[in-house]
Amino acid sequence: MTASPWLVPITTLRRSIGARREEHRVGPVGELRVADSVVGADAIAEAVATLDSVDGGIQVSAIVTAPWTGECRRCLNAVGGDLRCEVREMYRPRRGDEGLGDSDDDTYRLQPDHLDLQPLVRDALLLELPMAPLCREDCLGLCPTCGADRNEGGCTGVTSNRDPGCDALYDTDLHPGDAPGGATT
C-alpha cells in the first residue's frame, strides 16, 4: 500500500517554535459533491502550504486548487473550471495524543509525527464548490415554452404566455357588462 501524498512528517518542525516549512502536495481527495457541482473521484487536487510551528500545534496556510464540473442552473449546459481556495487552519494534538492537547473540535488533528492535509483540502474544496453555477453571468437560460436554449438564438415555441383556455378573457371586442359566450348578466 502506498503512503498518502497528504501526510506530512512534522517531527523536526515541532522541535522549534517559530520554525517554518513549505510543502507542495498533489493527489486525489475522492469525490466531492455539492448539489450538481462535483470534484470527480479521479480529479487531482493540489495544495501549496506553509507550515508554522506555534505554541500548541502547527498553523497551516495553504492555497488549494482542483478541477470541478457541474451544470448551469439556467441553461443546463456543462460548466466547470478550477477551484482556488485560500485557507489558514490550526492542527493541534487531541487528549491522549502525547498526553497533552485539548478536545478542540475546531482544529485539525495533529499526530505526534505527522499531520494529514487531506481533511483540510477536502473541507476547503467543499466550501468553495458552487451550489448553483452559471455558465456566464448573463445566461438567458431555457425557454419555458419550448425548452430551447435562449443563448443560442430565438425561441421556436409559442411566444405568448397566454393560456388558450382563457382566450375569452382577452377578447377585446367585449364591452363592459358583456359576458363571454353571448350570455348577459
Return the percentage of the chain with pLDDT > 90, whole number: 61
Tell me the pLDDT tens digit for each residue of 56-114.
899 999 999 999 999 999 999 999 999 999 999 999 997 655 444 445 567 899 998 99
Sign of CA dihedral 76, 123, 45, 89: positive
Query: Which residues, including other chains, have CB under 8 Å from residue 9's CB and lie 6 or more apart?
Result: 113, 114
Domain ranges (residues) in the chain: 7-128, 150-182
Query: What DSSP designation does 76 have?
Result: -
In this prediction the pTM is 0.75
The string of pLDDT tens digits covering residues 28-61 is: 999 999 998 999 999 999 999 999 999 989 999 9
**Is residue 172 scored above 60 in pLDDT?**
no
Task: Please report, for residues 52, 54, 156, the alpha-carbon distance to residue 14 in angstroms, rounded to integers and kept in the order given.
Answer: 9, 8, 67
For cell 500545534, the residue is 57
Mean pLDDT, all residues of the chain: 85
Say what the pLDDT of residue 76 is: 93
